[in-house]
Structure 1
Amino acid sequence: MSLSIVIMAAGKGTRMKSSRPKVLHTLAGRPMLSHVLATTGTLQAAQQVVITGHGAELVEAQMRREFAQAPLSFVRQEPQLGTGHAVQQAVPVLPDEGITLILNGDVPLIEAVTAQALVDACAGERLALLTITLADPTGYGRIVRTPDGAQVLAIVEHKDATEAQRAITEVYTGMMAAPTRWLKQALAGLTNDNAQGEYYLTDVVARAVADGVAVVAAQPRDEVEVLGVNSPLQLADLERRHQQAQAVRLMEAGVRLADPARFDLRGSLEVGRDVEIDVNCVFVGCVQLGDDVRIGANCVIRNARIDAGAVIHPFTHIDGDKDGATVGAGSLIGPFARLRPGAQLGREVHIGNFVEVKNSTLADGAKANHLAYLGDATVGERVNYGAGSITANYDGANKHRTVIGNDVHVGSNCVLIAPITLGDGATIGGGSTLSKDAPAGQLTVARAKQLSLSGWVRPKKAAKP
C-alpha cells in the first residue's frame, strides 16, 4: 500500500528566542528536521512532504542539499493557523489512495520501528495515534477514552481541557497515520472554534468517531522518541538524554567511557575491542576506532579512522572533513596536535605537541614530535622531522608538494619551499631554508655564515626632554 509521509516544520519557535528556524536547531550536531528525514528515509515511502513556513527558504535549501536523492517535496503554510491548517496545505499533493503518516519536524528522535508500527496499526482503514503516558502531561493534548478505556473518543488540547481532562496522563504525541482518502475529507471539515482560534489536526479524531472509523493507539518504545523541542532548555535536555543513550550502547558493546555524562557523539562511531575514551571527547561524522585505541581527554575527532593500538593524547583535534583522516596502527598523536583533511598516517607514526598535518601522507615510523607543520607533503618511512620546521606549500596563488624520502633527517627550524624533493637518507642542517632539491645521502645546509661583530652597541632609548 502506498505510503505518503507529511512532516510539519512550519513553526516559528518563538520560545527558542532565535532568528534560526526551530527545526534547523541542531541535536547531536544535526538539524532536528534532518533526524526525522533520515528516519523516514528508511520507510520506503512513495513521497515525503515537508510543510514549511517560518524561514521556509532556509529550511528547504538545507534539506534539499542533505537529501538530494530522496523523494522530497515542500509545501508552505503561510500564515500558520494551526496543525490542521498545516496538513491542509499538503492535501493537493497527496494521492487519493494509501496511507498518510504525519510526523513533527521538532520531534527528532522518533525511531523507524515506531513510525512503522503506527503505519501498521492504521493498515489503510483505521486512524492510528501515537500516544504515551507521561508523569507530567502539561501542554499535551489528552487522550479521552470510553469509560472502559477500550476506545479513543477524542483528543482535547491542554488549553481547551477541563480540570478532569487535564488529570489524564495519556497524551497525544502529535503523530498519526490515517487512510489518505478519509484524511482529506476530515481535514476539509475542520473548524477553528476553540480557545486558540486555530484549526487543530486533533479534531479529526472526533470526525473519525462520527464516521465509524476505528481509532487505535500505538506507543513508542521510549519516551525520548516523542519529546518535542520548544525552548533551548528542552533542546539541551533532549541532547543529554540522547547522548546518555548513545553512551550506554557503546559501553554495552565494551567501550570504557571515563564518564558517560561527558561524552558527545554527533554522527556514527564504530569501535573495536578494549577501546578507552576519556572525558569531554566529541566525535563528529563517521569515526572508526580499532582494537585497543585510547582517546585522551578533550579530543575532537571528525571523519577519521584510527587503527588498532593507536593513542590519541589529550587536546588533539582530528578533522578529516570530506577527505577523511587516517591514523595507522600503534601511532602516537598529541597532546595538542592537529590533523586536518587528507592526513594519512602509517603505522607507528608520532605526531607530537603543536604539530599540524594537512593533506599529507606519513609512512611507517615517521616522526614530527614538536612545533611543526606538514602541508601537501609525502613523507617516507622513519623520517625525523625537526621542531619548528615547516613545508612552505603555498606561493600566494597555488599549492605545491614536498616529497621527503625514507630515512631523511630534517633539523630544527627548517623551511622547505615547495615544490621540493629530499632524497632518501638526506640530512638537512638545522635552520636551513631550502628552495632546491636535496640529494640522497648527503648533508644539505642553507643558512648564512655566523658572524660576531665586536664594537657593536645595542641601541638605547632616547632620553626624555
Structure 2
Amino acid sequence: MRLDVVIMAAGKGTRMKSARPKVLHPLAGRALLQHVLEMGAGLGADRLITITGHGAESVEAAMRAALPAAPLAFVRQEPQLGTGHAVQQAVPALGDEGTTLILNGDVPLVRPETARALIAACGGEKLALLTVELADPTGYGRIVRDAADRERVLAIVEHKDATPEQRAITEGYTGMMAVPTRHLKRWLAALRNDNAQKEYYLTDIVAMAEADGVPVVATLAGNETEVLGVNSPLQLAELERRFQRVQAESLMEAGVRLMDPARFDLRGVLRCGRDVAIDVNCVFEGEVELGDEVQIGANCVIRNARIAAGAVIHPFTHIDGEAAGVEVGEGALIGPFARLRPGARLGRAVHIGNFVEVKNSTLADGAKANHLAYLGDATVGERVNYGAGSITANYDGANKHRTVIEADVHIGSNCVLVAPVTIGAGATVGGGSTITKDVAPGQLGVARGKQVVLDGWVRPSKNKPAKPA
C-alpha cells in the first residue's frame, strides 16, 4: 500500500527569537526537521512531502543536502492560513490511494514503532489520530471517546472550548494522524474558515469522517517525550536533555559505564564494545566506534572516529575526523589536551601526549609523540620517538608535502622537518635542528648554529628615573 508522509514545517517560530527557521534548529546535532524526515524515510515512504513557508529556500536546501537519497518533495504554504490550509498545499503531490501520514516538523522524536502503529490503525480505511496520556494536558485538544465503544473517537475538543468534565480528560491530541488518502483529498476540499481566526483547521476532518461513516480511532504514543514539540529555546533545551537521557540509558543498559548520564551528549551514532567507560562532559558526534575496554576521560569531544580495544583517551582530548575519519589503535594512549584531526591513523600502543596535534598522518605501532608537537602529512614508522616542540613543516604556502620518518628514528626536541624529507630507519635528529635534506638510515642529522659563549658579558639593566630635585 502506498504511503505518503506529509510534514508541516511552514511556521516562523516567533518564540525562538531567531533568524533561523525553527525546524532547522539542532537537536542532538541534527535539525528538528531532519529527525522527522529520517524517521519517515525509515518507514519506507513513497514520498516525503514537506510543507515549507518561512525560510523555505534554506529549509529545502538543508534537507536536500542532509538526505540526498530520500524521496523528498516540497510544497510551500504562502500565506499561512492554518493546518488544514497547509495540508491542502500537499494535495497535488499525494498519490490517489493508500495512506497519508501527517506529522509536525517541530516534533522530532516520534519513534518509528509509534508511526507504524498509527499507520496500521488507519489501515487505509480509518482516520487514525495519535494521542498521548498526559499528567497535565493543559493546552492540548482532548480526545472524547464513545462511552459504549472506547475504540471509537467522537471528537477532539480544544482546551479553550472544553467543559470542566472534558478538561478532566488526560488523553490529548498530538496534531499527528494517518488518513486514507482518497478521503483526505475530499475532506480537505470541503474545509471552511468560518471561525474567529479565519483559518482552515485540519481537525475539522474528524467531524467530516463521522458524517461520512468513516471510523475515527486513536492510538497512544508510548510516552510524552516522543510527541513534545519545540516552540522556544527553553523547550528545545528541555527536549535535548530528555533525548540525551534516553540515549544514555540505552547505552548503560548495553553495559557502557557512564560516570554521570546527566553530563553526556550523543549527537550522532555511538557503537561500544564491552566494558567501555566514559567520564563526564563528553560529546560524541557523527559516527564513533569504541572497542572493548576503551576509556574516555572527562571533557572530550570525539567526532567520526574508530578507537580500538584498550585505548585510553585522557581528559580534554579533541578528536575530529570530519569526512576522512580518525583511527586509534589498540592500547594507544591519547592526551590529555591532544588533538587528532582528519586522516590521523594511529597504530597499536601509540602515545600522543599533551598539546600534540596530528593531521593526515600515520603512526605505526609503538610510536610516541608525548609533548607539544605537530605531525601533519607524515608517515611515521614503528617505535619512533618524536621530541617535544618538534614539527613537520608540511606547507610551503601553496602546496602540502609529506614527511617520512622510518622505524626506530629519534627526533630531538624543537626540531623542524621541512617536507618533503625522509629520515631513514634508526637515524637521529639532534635537538633544535631544521632539517631540509634527507638523513640516511642510522645517521645523525644536525642543522643548527654554533653555540657562542661571551666572557665578561653583562646583562643590561633598567634605566632608573631621575629623582625630582
Short-chain TM bin: over 0.9
* Separation (CA, whole Å) in 1 of partners of 2:141 and 2:55: 27
* Separation (CA, whole Å) in 1 of partners of 2:128 and 2:246: 28
Q: What residue in structure 2 maps to residue 128 of structure 1? A: 128
CA drift of 1:160 comes to: 3.6
Q: Given the alignment of the two structures, is residue 105 of structure 1 paired with residue 99 of structure 2, yes or no? A: no
CA drift of 1:165 comes to: 2.9
Is the contact made by 1:144 and 1:153 (CA closer than 8 Å) also made in structure 2?
yes
The answer to which of 352-361 and 40-49 deviates more is: 40-49
List per-residue Cα deviations over 1:113-133 (Å, max 9, x = no partner). Answer: 111111111111100111111
Q: What residue in structure 2 maps to residue 192 of structure 1? A: 193
The answer to which of 42-51 and 425-434 deviates more is: 42-51
Q: Which amino acid aligns with 2:280?
A: V
Is the contact made by 1:159 and 1:195 (CA closer than 8 Å) also made in structure 2?
no
For 1:242, what is the secondary structure of its paired residue? helix
Is the contact made by 1:24 and 1:32 (CA closer than 8 Å) also made in structure 2?
yes
* Separation (CA, whole Å) in 2 of partners of 1:181 and 1:118: 17
List per-residue Cα deviations over 1:200-232 (Å, max 9, x = no partner). Answer: 111111111111100011112222111111111
Q: What residue in structure 1 maps to residue 349 of structure 2? A: 348
Q: Which amino acid aligns with 1:352?
A: G
CA drift of 1:193 comes to: 2.9
Is the contact made by 1:368 and 1:386 (CA closer than 8 Å) also made in structure 2?
yes
* Separation (CA, whole Å) in 1 of partners of 2:313 and 2:133: 45
Q: How does 1:313-392 map to 2 (within 5 A)?
A: 313-392=314-393
Q: Which amino acid aligns with 2:175?
A: G
CA drift of 1:459 comes to: 5.0
Q: Which amino acid aligns with 2:134?
A: L
Q: Which amino acid aligns with 1:107?
A: V
* Separation (CA, whole Å) in 1 of partners of 2:301 and 2:231: 29
List per-residue Cα deviations over 1:268-307 (Å, max 9, x = no partner). Answer: 1111111111111111111000011111011111000000
Q: Given the alignment of the two structures, is residue 436 of structure 1 paired with residue 404 of structure 2, yes or no? A: no
For 2:194, what is the secondary structure of its paired residue? coil
* Separation (CA, whole Å) in 1 of partners of 2:288 and 2:415: 34
Q: Given the alignment of the two structures, is residue 79 of structure 1 paired with residue 60 of structure 2, yes or no? A: no
Q: What residue in structure 2 maps to residue 138 of structure 1? A: 138
CA drift of 1:455 comes to: 5.1
* Separation (CA, whole Å) in 2 of partners of 1:169 and 1:376: 62
* Separation (CA, whole Å) in 2 of partners of 1:139 and 1:197: 20
Q: Which amino acid aligns with 2:296?
A: I
* Separation (CA, whole Å) in 2 of partners of 1:53 and 1:39: 22
CA drift of 1:195 comes to: 4.0
CA drift of 1:196 comes to: 3.1
* Separation (CA, whole Å) in 1 of partners of 2:159 and 2:177: 18
Q: How does 1:265-280 map to 2 (within 5 A)?
A: 265-280=266-281
CA drift of 1:82 comes to: 1.0
Q: What residue in structure 1 maps to residue 284 of structure 2? A: 283
List per-residue Cα deviations over 1:152-187 (Å, max 9, x = no partner). Answer: 112123344344433322111111011111101111
Q: Which amino acid aligns with 2:429?
A: I
Q: Which amino acid aligns with 1:86?
A: A
Is the contact made by 2:132 and 2:223 (CA closer than 8 Å) also made in structure 1?
no
The answer to which of 90-99 and 416-425 deviates more is: 90-99
* Separation (CA, whole Å) in 1 of partners of 2:358 and 2:413: 17
For 1:130, what is the secondary structure of its paired residue? strand
Q: Given the alignment of the two structures, is residue 231 of structure 1 paired with residue 232 of structure 2, yes or no? A: yes
Is the contact made by 2:151 and 2:217 (CA closer than 8 Å) also made in structure 1?
no
* Separation (CA, whole Å) in 2 of partners of 1:401 and 1:424: 16
Q: Given the alignment of the two structures, is residue 446 of structure 1 paired with residue 447 of structure 2, yes or no? A: yes
CA drift of 1:311 comes to: 0.4
Identity of aligned residues (%): 75
TM-score normalized by the length of structure 2 = 0.97
Q: How does 1:194-273 map to 2 (within 5 A)?
A: 194-273=195-274
The answer to which of 319-328 and 153-162 deviates more is: 153-162
Is the contact made by 2:109 and 2:227 (CA closer than 8 Å) also made in structure 1?
yes
For 2:200, what is the secondary structure of its paired residue? coil
CA drift of 1:313 comes to: 0.4
What root-mean-square deviation, in Å, do the aligned CA atoms of Structure 1 and Structure 2 show? 1.4
For 1:175, what is the secondary structure of its paired residue? strand
Q: What residue in structure 2 maps to residue 8 of structure 1? A: 8
* Separation (CA, whole Å) in 1 of partners of 2:87 and 2:176: 12
Q: Which amino acid aligns with 1:384?
A: N
Q: What residue in structure 2 maps to residue 173 of structure 1? A: 174
Q: What residue in structure 2 maps to residue 24 of structure 1? A: 24
Unaligned runs of 5+ in 1: none
* Separation (CA, whole Å) in 2 of partners of 1:195 and 1:278: 55
* Separation (CA, whole Å) in 1 of partners of 2:258 and 2:42: 31
Q: Which amino acid aligns with 2:344?
A: A
For 2:261, what is the secondary structure of its paired residue? coil
* Separation (CA, whole Å) in 1 of partners of 2:157 and 2:398: 66
Is the contact made by 1:316 and 1:338 (CA closer than 8 Å) also made in structure 2?
yes
For 2:119, what is the secondary structure of its paired residue? helix
* Separation (CA, whole Å) in 1 of partners of 2:205 and 2:216: 10
* Separation (CA, whole Å) in 1 of partners of 2:200 and 2:163: 19
Is the contact made by 1:156 and 1:202 (CA closer than 8 Å) also made in structure 2?
no
CA drift of 1:460 comes to: 5.4
Q: How does 1:144-163 map to 2 (within 5 A)?
A: 144-148=144-148, 149-163=150-164
* Separation (CA, whole Å) in 2 of partners of 1:95 and 1:328: 52
CA drift of 1:150 comes to: 4.2
Is the contact made by 1:160 and 1:194 (CA closer than 8 Å) also made in structure 2?
no
Residue-pair matches, total: 465
CA drift of 1:457 comes to: 5.1
Q: Which amino acid aligns with 2:384?
A: V
The answer to which of 196-205 and 31-40 deviates more is: 196-205
Q: What residue in structure 1 maps to residue 306 of structure 2? A: 305
TM-score normalized by the length of structure 1 = 0.97
Q: Which amino acid aligns with 2:174?
A: T
For 1:261, what is the secondary structure of its paired residue? helix
* Separation (CA, whole Å) in 2 of partners of 1:123 and 1:160: 31
Q: Which amino acid aligns with 2:135?
A: A
* Separation (CA, whole Å) in 1 of partners of 2:41 and 2:151: 33
* Separation (CA, whole Å) in 1 of partners of 2:139 and 2:210: 24
Q: Which amino acid aligns with 1:437?
A: D
